[in-house]
Structure 1
């Protein structure tokens, strides 16, 4: 076949050198018109009539219609004829002007026609040559194609034969490996067999060997062998998961990895365990199964509401708890087994490719295997619990009353799982969120349990403190029943801190309710405040209320000692309310008794402590005000305090703790001593005989308070002040600054006592401000030592002015007072 360049040369040779085609390129360009000539087209473009004919959108019908409607059709036609004549004249002029050029062009066209005829003849010759060449090369090309196809088929056949031989050889190895008795199946190298099986299947699939008779026979055997390998591999894997044997789990996983089915096999296994967990949860709450396993309780076994027939409740309850225990054990086994599988996957790598098996099973963003199983179990558990709560009154009642036991089961399950999967460097089986989800599944029963707890305790309070009755006071047994019930509620949940706090909040509500009901029962008015006669019914009622609330406060506080601080904080406000109401029930009485005792002490200012002589010094009788105070104390002790402190004498002293009543008595005893010392220091003047008499009064006061109110040795600072004031009154004034006794006395007591040693013109604050001892005492209660000193300092300043006005030096007493205050 001729090449394109050859054909080009041939075509060129067919054209003579002087042919008209070559001369076409010598055509002359038309000469340009004379420079001064004006083209008619340029005049027509500005003419209003002829310009329309130059438009590409010219419409003859429209032009004619406009000419006729204008009324000058004849003039228009005449102008058109004139234009035609002008164009013909212009055309003629162009032809004449370009005559030579036109003749030359005509001659060139004739030469071109002759040249084309020659070219056609040459092309026909060329086509004939091409046909000859095509015939000469077509047969070799056909032969080459046939031989190429033959070679390809031979090559493909050879490859198929080689692959078939390799498949048969590998199949022979696999058969030798698989030729193991059932008894000796444990000796089978499953991993190697799986690797061979995958290689054979891959060869068959990659080379499309199906359809070859001998290969098809092997493929049928391979299918059976693959099923056997999967079965044996799954047995090894499940046995390893159940026994938590990492080696067996690794071997089973390697089998499926070699088979190329690791991800699908693990997914199948995980789905199996998920289904087992869901089935275990649903089976635990199957009331029909529980009823059937507990015996036949009549037709149908259970009623529509999920409640066993009469006589079967106890056994059904026992069966329910037994099934729940079994369910918890099964969930534990499932989760730990899946965690063990996950642990091995995260550690094992293929020995040849070093690929981590976990990367083959999971992709980025996938849930962990334990999370998948736990999520399914928790979801099923939550649905079953919700269904049991709404559909089965029996299950609702059992799980509500036994919520602590139910919660304990779940808590033990979670702790067992976390403990058994606590391996360093490995994630635990469940997260904190997973634990919360499991606990949240029984929130319905928790809410009901807390409501039931509040209802039980509130009913007890309402039964002993009915709203309609105000005069009744509960018995000691009724109060003990409430306390015991509260202690039982705490005891039932104390092993779980979270549940304990929830129950304590409900107990706090009950204690506040108890305080409110008791406060409503308190008697008020003059009868409750009288202290001159025997205890009346109103006071006895208040005493009983106080003792009851005191018992509640003491015993509940003792119960809280064994609990964490946060638990005590939950009940602190409620116990404070109990304490406050208990105090309120007797506070008015104690205030009345204290007012009476202070009134007796105020009579000290009516006594004459300025007497002189041996008779006064030898008089061993107490002052009249002190005798009256002793009588009052004895009366209070026999009529009021003996009733209030009866329980304390048997309980409080043995434990060494104070009760509400003992606290009030201690405060009253301390106030009596402080009040006496204050007013004893204000006595003025005070003779030596008067000092002896005051010392006897202090001894009588100490005896009366210690025997009838509170042991004075346990009163602390007030008692030390009383013991110190007795020898202080016998000190010389010059000895005051160095005496250690002053450390136990308030500065105001010392300073007030020094007035009794000063001249009469030195006015005391009471005299200067013209106050009664009671008024001054009330003012001192509302002020601190600094303010009291300012009042004393004012009297000393006044005295200093008087001394200076007489022209004498300051009194030594004044200097002593200032030095004493600075020293203090």
Structure 2
């Protein structure tokens, strides 16, 4: 389209011949441009620089005009498509307008082109001159290149022949070298073959296997590295060589088996040297270890093969069982049981031999080294981080043992029954195996065959049998406990025979596991559950209510049954506790809670009775405050009326109740009887009575000399009745010492109180309460000041400590001092000052 437009406009470029030379065409362009520029009003007088600037400005303006114009802008894009433009122009309905725009653009472009040519005329001429010079230089270069090519052809023709000769000679030399090396390898191989033949022929069956293995390995190495296969003289000897190699291996393996069987280190070490020299040490050891693993697996499988056991004892098979074979029936069961245990014992012996053999092999490998490279044989066999040989064998053994034991537990009812009932025996075989392995591989400087956790690994494989064994043990004991308490009605008590049998059953369960401390502790946990159950059952049979608290009448049937149950529980507690002497040291801790439960129920059976009698005795002793001790009348030989009631009640309690709980003479109720629950409660009761009496005797106010003598007489009667009917007073400790110290305290001079050592045997509250009886009336005791009854004040003292009691006493002393000061008196009672001094000293001394 552009060409057609130029032809219509009559462009002067059509008059320039395309065949003219570049210089001629450029001159013609210049003439045409000059004439056109002069016609268009341009002049050269403006100078080249100004013309160039004008041209560049015109070019930029033209480009900007093109960019702004909607038609011309399409020609400036990179992906301009002429076909698309023509299609759009024709589809617009008026092609004249785009044609006119294109003609204007062509004119503008021609104008700019003429301007560029005109103003760059000198530069274009300079480029033409440079092109001419370049043509001349290229001519010279072309001539030099042709000369160089001719020289190269001449040199190639001169060196081609020598190169071919050198290449041929080099190939010939390489062939000669390879031939020489091959001949050397063949000669060396033949020499080694001859040496091996001489060695085998001269030594015969007693050939030096290590030396023969070294020679054999050298020959084999030559065959592989030198590639002498195909050499006839060597190939003829290969069958013989292979036969010799097999013979060396057979003899070495026999020697290795013999040395391993005898555990001979020297023999095993020599054979290992043979395999090392043959370069087959690692593969041989791996094969041997794998064989040990297979032997361990087969040993366990053979021991648990019920088909073989049934066939060996000549009985028929039932249904079920390991390998889906059943348990023997009838008379053959005992024989099958014995055969099973024999097989398990033989299995343990074989497993011991296998592990010891692997340990012995590992021990020898760790000692042997190559005399040249000093590389240890064990390092040659194993890589860094690999498990030791014994660990590999032991892991395979444990895995096989565990899987087959679990299979036997689920698949064979006969094996399950035998191993559950005889679990301690099975555990004993495991312990014996582990102990023997530790003992037989205990060599200084050498690790043992198994690790410390080996026993736990094997026992873990027996976990199903252990769980079932403990379950049956618990079931047996629980069933017996349930059988001796057949009904839920209260008072349905077991017999002494039942208690004896229960203790005997517990002893049998513990005795069956005494060889294994771990199993004993597990059984102890089951015994603990049974004792808890026994305590719960016994607690349900205990009578409660007001009937068991009556102490003034004869013993009731309910009380008697509680007494019986208490003695039974106490018997169980004592006899089970005595069993713990020979058991592991943690056994008391395991049974602590359950024995405590039994002891608690036994104590609860009779504790309400003892509480009731103590409360009754305290009510009688409180009558001391209803009796006057201020009279100066002569004291008779009889004790106080309240003390007569105390004596009668204590004697009645001993004859009706305590004698049923403490059979035998009271003189025997010493340290042994003192360990029993009734004796312990009787001791606490006696201690409470003595201390309670001392407390309230110290509160007696006013107290005359005759009253003091009456109290002394009451002390003698109380000591006598308590010592003869309740508990030996000499064994009561501090309560008895307090009673004995109160006797001289009554007649102690007030001035001697502060320095008397007897004060250390009495509670501070007792001493200070007694001093109120020596004080003036206006110095009131805390009981009188607080308007409490003796019983209320006694309960307050029981709930508070000595320090709180002193605070109450100190308050009365302060009130007394306030009264004295209010009257204007300057002197206080000596008792007041003594009580202040003693109170401070006694309380501080007690805290220290």
TM-score range, shorter chain: 0.7 to 0.9
| Aligned residue in 2 for 1:820 | 838
2:353 matched residue in structure 1 = 333
Q: Structure 1 residues 674 and 59, CA, compared in 2 at 3 Å: closer, same or farther?
A: closer
**More divergent stretch after superposition (380-389 vs 437-446):** 437-446
Contact map agreement 1:747 1:821 (CA 8 A) in 2: yes
Q: Which moved more, 1:34-43 or 1:517-526?
A: 34-43
Question: Could you tell me which residue of structure 2 aligns to residue 273 of structure 1?
Answer: 292
C-alpha deviations, 1:528-548, integer Å up to 9, x for none? 111111111100111111111
The aligned residue for residue 174 of structure 1 is 196
The 2-side partners of 1:379 and 1:204 are apart by 44
Q: Report SS of the residue matched to 2:237.
A: helix
SS of the aligned residue for 1:737 comes to coil
- Summarize the alignment of residues 430-449 of structure 1 with structure 2, pairs less than 5 Å apart: 430-449=450-469
Matched, 1:403 2:423: yes
Closer, same or farther in 2 for the Cα pair 1:647/1:282, shift >3 Å? farther
SS in 1 for 2:589: helix
**Which aligned pairs between 1:537-686 and structure 2 lie closer than 5 A?**
537-613=557-633, 616-617=634-635, 619-646=636-663, 655=672, 658-686=675-703
Q: Deviations over 1:109-141 (max 9, x none)?
A: xx99xx99x99xx99x979x969986x987777
Unaligned residue ranges in structure 2 (runs of 5+) = 1-21, 41-54, 843-848
Equivalent position of 2:209 in the other structure: 190
Indicate how the Cα distance of structure 1 residues 551 and 52 shifts in structure 2: closer, same or farther if over 3 A, else same: closer
State how far apart, in whole Å, the 1-side matches of 2:248 and 2:624 are: 111
Residue 719 in 1 paired to residue 736 in 2?
yes
Distance, in Å, in 2 between the alignment partners of 1:306 and 1:258 is 53
Look up the SS of the partner of 2:408 in the other structure.
Answer: helix
Q: Distance in 2 between matches of 1:65 and 1:783?
A: 117
Find the counterpart in structure 2 of residue 809 from structure 1: 827
- State yes or no: 1:469 paired with 2:489: yes
Provide the residue aligned with 1:220 in structure 2: 239
Over 3 Å counting, the alpha-carbon distance change for 1:77 and 1:699 in structure 2 is: closer
207-216 vs 788-797, which deviates more?
A: 788-797
* In the alignment, structure 1 residue 775 sits paired with structure 2 residue 799: no
Q: CA deviation at 1:717?
A: 0.4
Question: 1:513 corresponds to which residue?
Answer: 533
1:177-211, Cα deviation, whole Å (9 max, x unpaired): 223666x53xx322221111101111122222222
Corresponding residue for 1:260? 279
**1:314 aligned residue:** 334
Give the structure 1 partner of residue 186 of structure 2: 164
Per mean C-alpha deviation after superposition, the further-off stretch among 495-504 and 199-208 is 495-504
Q: Distance in 1 between matches of 2:830 and 2:240?
A: 130
Change (3 A) 1:647 1:360: farther
Alpha-carbon distance in 2 for matches of 1:361, 1:190: 20
Instruction: Give the superposition deviation at 1:78.
Output: 13
The separation in 2 between residues aligned to 1:70 and 1:242, in whole angstroms, is 115
Aligned-partner SS, 2:586: helix
Q: Do 1:306 and 1:395's aligned partners in 2 also have CA atoms closer than 8 Å?
A: no
Give the Cα–Cα distance (whole angstroms) in 2 for the partners of residues 138 and 409 of structure 1: 91
Q: Does residue 373 of structure 1 match 2:393?
A: yes
Give, in whole Å, the separation in 2 of the partners of 1:165 and 1:381.
57
Contact 2:550 2:609 (8 Å CA) reproduced: yes
Cα distance between partner residues in 2 of 1:659 and 1:221? 94
The 5-angstrom pairing of residues 59-138 of structure 1 reads 59=82, 63=86, 66=89, 70=94, 72=96
Q: RMSD over aligned Cα, in angstroms? A: 4.3
Task: Measure the CA separation in 2 of the matches of 1:585 and 1:152.
Answer: 113
Match of 2:315 in 1: 297
Contact 2:256/2:267 (8 A) holds in 1: yes
Q: Cα 1:489–1:72, aligned 2, differ >3 Å: closer, same or farther?
A: same
1:732 to 719, 725, 749: 749
Q: How many Å apart are 1:339 and its aligned residue?
A: 2.0
Count of residue correspondences: 777
Cross-structure match for 1:382: 402
Of stretches 53-62 and 343-352 in structure 1, the one that deviates more from structure 2 is: 53-62
Q: 1:441 to 1:647 in 2, by over 3 A?
A: farther
**CA separation of 1:61/1:773 partners in 2, compared to 1, >3 Å: closer, same or farther?**
closer
Change (3 A) 1:132 1:684: closer
Alpha-carbon distance change, 539 to 142 in structure 1, aligned in 2, over 3 angstroms:
same
SS at match of 1:388: helix
Partner SS state of residue 702, structure 2: coil
Question: For residue 9 of structure 1, what is the aligned residue in structure 2?
Answer: none
Report deviation, 1:76: 7.2
Is 1:488 aligned to residue 505 of structure 2? no
Shift in Å, 1:422: 3.5
TM-score, length-normalised on structure 2?
Answer: 0.82
Post-superposition Cα deviations, 1:60-112, rounded to whole Å, max 9, x if no partner, equal 897599579636599979979x99xx99xx9xx99xx99xx9xx99xx9xx99
Q: Please give the per-residue CA displacement for 1:644-674, whole angstroms capped at 9, x wherever unaligned.
A: 1128989985857601111111000100111
Residues 59 and 490 of structure 1: is their aligned pair in 2 closer, same or farther, counting only changes over 3 Å?
same
Contact 2:268/2:364 (<8 A) preserved = yes
CA distance in 2, matches of 1:67, 1:402: 110
| Cα distance between partner residues in 2 of 1:64 and 1:354 | 93
